[in-house]
Amino acid sequence: MTSRQSADRQIVVLGSINMDLVARCCTLPVAGQTLSATDFFEVPGGKGANQAVAAQRAGGNVTMIGGVGDDGFGSRLLHGLRHERIHCDHINVAGRTPSGLAMIVVSDSGENQIVVVPGANAQVGPEDVERCAEVIRAAAILLVQLEIPPATVFHAVDMAHSAGARVILDPAPVPESGMRQDLRGIDLICPNETEAAALTGCPVDSQSGLEQAARQLHDRGAKNVAITLGASGTLLWDGESFVTMDAIPVDAVDSTAAGDAFAGATAVHWLESDSLMEAVRFGNAAGALAASKQGAQPAMGTRADIEQLLQRQA
């Protein structure tokens, strides 16, 4: 299926919308340490909004469901999503509530530390899913993360699955209280190594440990598992065979939104091609592009960018 043929098939993203407050430092601070930043900037973020932008730029037709506060950040965040031509009619503006914030420190090597203040994201509840039921049931793919309440996420997962939509879960951040064990209804779960370990309790410092974690997530109901491994690529498990998809080498600048770029782009290509392996390859390229640039949403590559990188790699 071509991009043009799939243009009317919507990807619905339910998730967080944040303003990222980013400081760049030579290294990441350790406990009790004060460092001087070399730069600071504000940039639209939030895992849900990042993935919506990634999917839209990769050629998707995207609707965003979420919430912002009635503050200056909220209006800027909405303006940015509309500028990306994302459908925003189902984003609630919560009264007397701050918008979500993420405070991010990025080192010169591209590693990061992140503290998230949920704000309006914490108020996105199952009633919002019911309010948007028609949109969710009509989706070709529902893309969700865990920066809004998990009860809301899984209510939408069950609704979309019952309607025949594909569901992709990026299980980040892993809730401190744990995540629902039953993963039935999820067509693809895509944790990174750290998240896979937190979800399963499996050590992931070896190939056998990674495979054990993937099998456990599959046994819990997820139809396909893609564990992203940074510079080592992505381990894909479909319940029958393991495939390691190579990463595309880039000079890492900021890895903050690489996983979001992967999820959004993978959703678009999976919808178009119906080949998960090809979709993961496409997602790997999108993640590499994002890691090679600074910021979250500004780092998301266009479809042309992604295809050009894949051609150079080939």
- What single-letter DSSP state applies at residue 98? P
Residues in the chain: 314
DSSP string for 249-272: P---S--TTHHHHHHHHHHHHHHH
Q: List, in order, residues 6 or more apart from 1 with CB less than 8 Å away.
A: 271, 272, 273, 274
**Is residue 311 exposed (0-12), middle (13-18) or buried (19+ Cβ within 10 Å)?**
exposed
- What single-letter DSSP state applies at residue 175? P
Say which of 20, 187, 254, 260 is annotated catalytic. 260
DSSP string for 103-123: EEEEETTS-EEEEEE-GGGGG
Q: How would you list the strands of the sheet with 112-117, edge to edge?
A: 39-45, 18-25, 100-107, 112-117
β-bridge mates for residue 101, sequence order: 19, 117
The residue type of 263 is A
260 is catalytic: yes
Q: List, in order, residues 6 or more apart from 96 with CB less than 8 Å away.
A: 70
Are the beta carbons of 200 and 219 closer than 8 angstroms?
no
Are the beta carbons of 216 and 251 closer than 8 angstroms?
no
Which positions are annotated as active-site residues? 260
